[in-house]
């Protein structure tokens, strides 16, 4: 099946196009399933919309889900629309976020680490990496441990862009192979899927999230994989899908993880690509 499970639209404030635009683009591309997964509100903040331009407001979330449901029903028979959200992982907040999501008919929840030090700097923010006295290796280690927590928390179906900390191509001097090995085992033990996110090719790091070395670790541990373009505009949908599919096939992967009402369903990789 041709799928894309990581997409954004204008409600989050930093993407272009509507949910309908994304679905229409998916149909033109011949996708079998399109996952809608805009950024969750900051449910860990008192304000309705503390950071405009990064996420939707809390008061928008119910409207977002209602719109997804309407579009899913409207497009039934033309394309399979799956209802999702990309949820920020914040230490100590997973259960509260999970309680909120339980009130909505979501097909999947993608857990991603965007912020270090609580709700401070975004991992793609140059300001984070220009802080005086910043220890790069320590920052990487802190990020990876948040990924481990996200995998263990039991609230997510998919881990999103799990090594996005490398996005701006500011790299530690030492290698973190042992920490990534431990992380891969934690993910396998948690029985959570991992997306291969192709958007890193559009960032300074110039590589997928996660890197091929981490993908190989995950495959060796039989961690289920899915695909996400992290599209922030309709023309970015299914970005690199063919190359990602070819690569995982060479590694012995034969199925993608898909989700319906929080239940994982493994489907065959496509025999013919876009």
- Give mean pLDDT, residues 37-65: 95
Burial 3-39 (b: 16+ CB within 10 A, else e): bbbbbbbbbbbebebebebbbbbbeebebebbbbbbb
**Gap between the terminal Cα atoms of the chain:** 11
Whether 164 and 124 have beta carbons less than 8 Å apart is answered as yes
pLDDT one-digit tens code per residue, 142-199: 999 999 999 999 999 999 999 999 999 999 998 899 999 999 999 999 999 999 999 9
- Give mean pLDDT, residues 21-39: 98
Lowest mean pLDDT among 31-40, 62-71, 72-81, 263-272: 263-272
Q: Provide the pLDDT confidence category of residue 272 given band limits of 50, 70 and 90.
A: low
Within 13 Å and on the Cβ side, how many CA atoms surround 101?
Answer: 29
- Tell me which residue of 85, 79, 97 sits closest to 32, measured CA to CA: 79
Alpha helix segments (H runs only) across the chain: 19-29, 61-75, 94-101, 126-129, 136-152, 177-190, 212-220, 241-250
Q: The whole model's pTM is what?
A: 0.95
Domain residue limits, the chain: 3-268
Looking at residue 79, its pLDDT comes to: 98
Q: What phi and psi values does residue 222 have, to the nearest 5 degrees? A: 60, 35
Strand partners, 265: 258
The structural architecture, per CATH, of the domain 3-268 is: Alpha-Beta Barrel (3.20)
């Amino acid at each position: 099946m041709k799928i894309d499970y990581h997409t954004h639209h204008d409600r989050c404030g930093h993407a272009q196009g509507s949910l309908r635009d994304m679905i229409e683009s998916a149909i033109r591309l011949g996708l079998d399933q399109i996952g809608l997964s805009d950024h969750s509100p900051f449910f860990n903040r008192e304000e309705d919309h503390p950071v405009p331009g990064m996420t939707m407001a809390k008061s928008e979330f119910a409207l977002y889900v209602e719109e997804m449901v309407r579009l899913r029903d409207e497009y039934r028979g033309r394309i399979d629309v799956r209802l999702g959200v990309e949820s920020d992982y914040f230490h100590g907040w997973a259960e509260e976020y999970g309680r909120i999501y339980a009130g909505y008919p979501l097909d999947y929840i993608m857990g991603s680490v965007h912020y270090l030090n609580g709700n401070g700097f975004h991992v793609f923010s140059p300001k984070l990496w220009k802080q005086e006295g910043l220890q790069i290796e320590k920052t990487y280690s802190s990020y990876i441990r948040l990924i481990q927590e996200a995998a263990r928390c039991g609230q997510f179906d998919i881990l999103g862009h799990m090594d996005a900390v490398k996005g701006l191509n500011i790299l530690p001097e030492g290698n973190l192979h042992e920490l990534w090995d431990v992380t891969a085992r934690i993910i396998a033990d948690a029985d959570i899927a991992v997306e291969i996110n192709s958007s890193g090719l559009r960032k300074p790091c110039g590589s997928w999230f996660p890197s091929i070395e981490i993908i190989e670790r995950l495959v060796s541990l039989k961690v289920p994989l899915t695909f996400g373009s992290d599209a922030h505009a309709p023309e970015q949908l299914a970005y690199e899908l063919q190359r990602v599919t070819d690569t995982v096939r060479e590694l012995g992967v034969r199925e993608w993880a898909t989700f319906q009402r929080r239940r994982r369903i493994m489907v065959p990789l496509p025999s013919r690509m876009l």
